[in-house]
Structure 1
């Protein structure tokens, strides 16, 4: 089978689509024929070598954190799934996979898999797996968002941002989106009550907010200062500077800057599918690349400046 793999750490040209053995599901595992996988920040920083203390120096390394596809085969004890069933899921971010989601087939444990929403194509489904689950966990578990609160989504045009805008709107919150001005119409259509141009809007001129969801990872202390007395802030844009700001904010107790590792299990993926079925969440796909052009998909991700997700179509017609 064909699989996209990292052959060394570096720029996008270290990605290769190679012929490898098709994986075989072990006990408690499921073999999935992949229709599509999306490009996520985790994929890019692993490829660049920023997580080499986890991913190691043994190559090749599989790429693609998420996937949507069809069950082919189940291992012993892998209950709850049948051949031909449409599913979506993730590979474990800390497990070294010879093949990740950007491959024709992937093997995953049953607890990282769930039925995909019937209304979505594999491309649309793949665009929501990591981005949607990250937004859901941030709002539900990290900041405990409740109806009627004022929410700022910083970096609202990205995958996590567009999902967070929709989910906060569905909960009945007043949503302010901070993004490029040219994305204002799209974000308003997703549920943003107000869209501010990040290029001309400084943190000291906005707020206060009950909740801030940050996907950028810079100037965190400035935005934390725009919280209400009982406000909460979470960031998913991690860097050395962001980690330092998170640590320094611990003195503020409940108003500290929070973060987490999005590692969705079956329960989260099922809840995410429910939001799609209810109409609260819909995919926002910016561009679709064939598996052979995954390096171009990574370059597009790194350029930024777009609304929605970059998706890699593994199976023709996905």
Structure 2
């Protein structure tokens, strides 16, 4: 099979394109012919070694894949030949990745593609959508009627958070560039603020007692400002870190108001969490939600370019999907 793979950890130039043996299919596995693979920043962390995880070389890169079932193991009952399926948890923790023409995936890591949903649009969405679902449902455990401030809301994860939070009945505030205000309001934001400005006073004007939840998707927000904006028992969730990798804040104010800080990395999500998220995502896909990403489609041969583009921040807000 054709594959994009590495023989060692390193920079994007370590990615090779070539032939590898077809994967073995065990009793609980499904053999899938790959149609598209999304490239995420986390893929660059795995390839470089920044995210340390078990892997055997040669290691096929990539974690998010959509494709068609070619064959199933003897113990598989949930899928059959010809089914369209997707996965978003390959390529780490000892599992081979999915940037190959064929891939063997344990059946419990697969989800069906809802009928009528564009396959490339779907696979471009699943990483950010699963992150948003798990942050809201599992990490924050949000409840209807609570308030949330989503910072960097125009990004891939941010737009998914807004859509899902609106469906869950939250009061939503967002920060972004002004050019994104109209779209975010359409998705469900009830208050849009320019992230370059001092928006704290405006937020306080709307929620005098503070907001229940804040999620920083960008790493650019001032941490003390966010703590000040939290209601008593409120919580901040980080899915990225600032470039400085450091924060300073008023600890006494923080603990006396029983505020909380969460960190979330989807690579640590359990199989149960991922399966529950897949059900939520697929239900949203059927309603036409979460499918709003702009996409650049390239070929497997462009895998090195894709990694370099993400690392240099030259993706211009678009999702990259590689096809065979």
Aligned to 1:258: 262
After superposition, residues 213-292 of structure 1 pair within 5 angstroms as 213-217=215-219, 219-238=222-241, 255-262=259-266, 263=269, 264-292=273-301
Counterpart of 2:178 (choices 161, 177, 181) is 181
2-side partners of 1:243 and 1:114: how far apart? 38
1-side partners of 2:23 and 2:107: how far apart? 15
2-side partners of 1:253 and 1:72: how far apart? 56
Aligned to 2:207: none
What displacement does 1:28 show? 0.9
2-side partners of 1:79 and 1:118: how far apart? 19
1:9 and 2:18 aligned:
no
1:112 and 2:109 aligned:
yes
5+ long unaligned stretches in structure 1: none
Counterpart of 2:72 (choices 64, 71, 74) is 74
> Is the deviation greater in 179-188 or in 227-236?
179-188
After superposition, the CA RMSD in angstroms is: 3.0
What displacement does 1:45 show? 1.2
2-side partners of 1:177 and 1:304: how far apart? 22
1-side partners of 2:40 and 2:303: how far apart? 12
What displacement does 1:206 show? 4.1
2-side partners of 1:118 and 1:42: how far apart? 29
What displacement does 1:85 show? 0.5
What displacement does 1:97 show? 3.4
2-side partners of 1:187 and 1:294: how far apart? 32
- Is the CA contact (8 Å cut-off) linking 2:149 and 2:174 kept in structure 1? yes
1:192 and 2:189 aligned:
yes
- Is the CA contact (8 Å cut-off) linking 1:29 and 1:110 kept in structure 2? yes
Using a 3 Å threshold, how does the CA distance of structure 1 residues 256 and 313 change in structure 2: closer, same or farther? same
Aligned to 1:209: 211
Residues 48-92 of structure 1, C-alpha deviation per residue, up to 9 Å, x if partnerless? 22124x246x54322111111111111121221001101111234
Aligned to 1:97: 95
Residues 227-253 of structure 1, C-alpha deviation per residue, up to 9 Å, x if partnerless? 11132222211579769889x899579
Residues 100-146 of structure 1, C-alpha deviation per residue, up to 9 Å, x if partnerless? 12222221111111111223222111112221111001001111122
1-side partners of 2:213 and 2:89: how far apart? 30
2-side partners of 1:289 and 1:103: how far apart? 14
> Is the deviation greater in 151-160 or in 69-78?
151-160
Using a 3 Å threshold, how does the CA distance of structure 1 residues 11 and 233 change in structure 2: closer, same or farther? same
Question: TM-score, normalised on structure 2?
Answer: 0.83
1-side partners of 2:295 and 2:190: how far apart? 22
Aligned to 2:21: 21
1-side partners of 2:136 and 2:194: how far apart? 23
2-side partners of 1:309 and 1:252: how far apart? 42
- Is the CA contact (8 Å cut-off) linking 1:127 and 1:284 kept in structure 2? yes
Larger Rg belongs to: 2
Task: Give the paired residue count.
Answer: 311
- Is the CA contact (8 Å cut-off) linking 1:286 and 1:306 kept in structure 2? no
1-side partners of 2:256 and 2:99: how far apart? 41
1:146 and 2:150 aligned:
no
- Is the CA contact (8 Å cut-off) linking 2:193 and 2:199 kept in structure 1? no
Aligned to 1:30: 30
Task: Describe the SS at the equivalent of 1:311.
Answer: strand
1:295 and 2:304 aligned:
yes
- Is the CA contact (8 Å cut-off) linking 1:30 and 1:74 kept in structure 2? yes
- Is the CA contact (8 Å cut-off) linking 2:147 and 2:212 kept in structure 1? yes
Question: TM-score, normalised on structure 1?
Answer: 0.84
1-side partners of 2:308 and 2:182: how far apart? 25
Aligned to 2:123: 126
- Is the CA contact (8 Å cut-off) linking 2:297 and 2:323 kept in structure 1? no
